[in-house]
Amino acid sequence: MGFHGRFGLVGLAVAGLALIAGCGGGETEGAVLRADAEFDPPAAATAFRPIGEANPAVAQTFTVEQDGRLEEFWLVVTDGESADAGTIRVTVQPVDGGGVIDDDVADSLIDPILINTSSLPAILVDDFTEFDIGDEPGRDVLAGERYAIVVEFVSRAGDTDDAAIARVLGLLPAPGDPYAEGTGATGELGVGFTNNTEDYFFRTFVLD
């Protein structure tokens, strides 16, 4: 897992990743890593959705643009204002034809990623965090399929306060839908999600 400034050197990072993918690393020789679905507008964040007991999970849906294997994704997720550290979990959940997010963590396209919030960028820093999926089975995706990147509260390491342990950044409507190919949502795995009017910054990458 690594960090990338959202407004700088992104294209260079992608080019470097493509070169690495083509040079081996356990993947098929000649495979090329390509940017796929993304919401990365040239605008500073205006939505700062909290993660904590009161708001257990934030999701961003997207539509796959090209066939391949989901290799990695980037999110703008930061530490929260709580004095306590904590643990969050990131999954990639299927979305059905009606736009409903599958809330069963066992159906995640990837193995759940657990993150200590103390390792995230400082609160409200508008930088991408990179999530490498690695060589997991079952991560093949097809153009037109829909998924949701879900960031969920797991636990709090302490009881100093009940403030957010993390925040997910994006855009409020201004006034229209910021990202037409998907939507932001809040809720909880095992319970369900409700769409909102926000969209959260992300980028996805596939190997073809």
Q: What is the mean pLDDT of residues 89-114?
A: 96
Interacting residues of 164 by C-beta distance below 8 A, sequence separation 6+: 50, 51, 52, 55, 80, 81, 82
**CA–CA distance, 131 with 90 (Å, rounded to integer):** 9
Residue type, 179: Y
The answer to whether residues 35 and 203 touch, using CB atoms and an 8 Å cutoff, is yes
Kindly report the pTM of this predicted structure: 0.87
Minimum mean pLDDT range among 17-21, 31-35, 61-65:
17-21
Tell me: pLDDT of 154 over 70.
yes
The answer to whether residues 28 and 147 touch, using CB atoms and an 8 Å cutoff, is no
pLDDT at 23: 41
Closest C-alpha among 205, 208, 207 to residue 38: 205
